[in-house]
């Protein structure tokens, strides 16, 4: 797999870079961003750089790889902790990739929902689950000075993706966190629209991508941290954290969900707590 470096910016002693590569999984060109902390570089006196663990970040509806990297303020703490960050796009893109016929923001381009679509015309390109779990990590391991210690986090639709992927792959990720996740997409308008179009009418197929359903059958999970703002405009209709609380309570698994008073759905919320999430992940990545 070949990559094209399309941007590079020095940040807190490390490097923020963007790359294009052709994805065999998605059948199109994909862009992702990576922050490499200063620990990977050779020291000024010739000390060798080291390999570092990786945090994968999944963004929400309408976002790209750029939103988190530019707005969250994570580089400073990643540089201190010696953790790389990889931020993929939220869906396949390109002239041949289908989009919502009405141009809606909550489906199609920018809204891959981190599932493997089985319905046409989406099945050819919308396979974000396989891309995040398999293809992208393989490329990152091949091209960058990183270890095989990975964690995953995300926001909103990306929070759904992080929780779901972490629950389905507990041996692959050392820890999981989420900001404002869509907790029970089978019962939320955003999730119902996406699942019906990508996966068809079989609700058993939907269960494979719903965190509340996955918790019910989980035998073990990585350590999980979830933050939710009490003043989030999508709290009641779309996010439904109370359903996640009930699912966790019945499972007895290791899980912390915090309601943060006064915070909304924005990157101001993410920026306020990203350091705590980064330290949470580092504590497990470095064990």
Residue positions annotated with a catalytic role: 156, 232, 265
Cα 245 to Cα 55: distance, rounded to the nearest angstrom:
25
d(CA 284, CA 185): 28
Cβ contact 270:162 at 8 Å:
no
């Amino acid at each position: 797999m070949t990559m094209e470096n399309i941007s590079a910016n020095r940040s807190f002693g490390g490097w923020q870079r963007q790359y294009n590569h052709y994805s065999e999984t998605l059948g199109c060109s994909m862009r992702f961003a990576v922050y490499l902390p200063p620990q990977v570089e050779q020291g000024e006196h010739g000390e060798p750089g080291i390999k570092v663990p990786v945090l994968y970040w999944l963004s929400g509806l309408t976002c790209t790889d750029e939103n988190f990297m530019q707005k969250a303020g994570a580089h400073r703490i990643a540089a201190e902790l010696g953790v790389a960050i990889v931020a993929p796009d939220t869906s396949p893109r390109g002239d041949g990739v289908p989009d919502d016929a009405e141009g809606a923001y909550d489906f199609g381009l920018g809204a891959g929902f981190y599932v493997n679509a089985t319905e046409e015309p989406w099945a050819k390109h919308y396979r974000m689950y396989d891309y995040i779990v398999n293809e992208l990590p393989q490329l990152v391991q091949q091209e960058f000075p990183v270890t095989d210690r990975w964690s995953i986090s995300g926001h909103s639709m990306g929070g759904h993706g992080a929780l779901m992927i972490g629950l389905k792959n507990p041996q692959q990720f050392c820890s999981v966190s989420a900001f404002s996740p869509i907790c029970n997409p089978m019962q939320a308008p955003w999730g119902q629209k996406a699942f019906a179009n990508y996966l068809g009418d079989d609700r058993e197929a939907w269960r494979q991508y719903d965190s509340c359903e996955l918790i019910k059958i989980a035998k073990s999970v990585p350590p999980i941290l979830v933050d939710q703002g009490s003043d989030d405009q999508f709290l009641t209709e779309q996010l439904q954290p109370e359903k996640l609380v009930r699912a966790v309570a019945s499972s007895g698994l290791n899980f912390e969900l915090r309601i943060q008073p006064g915070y909304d759905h924005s990157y101001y919320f993410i920026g306020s707590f990203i350091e705590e999430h980064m330290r949470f992940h580092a504590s497990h990545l470095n064990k």
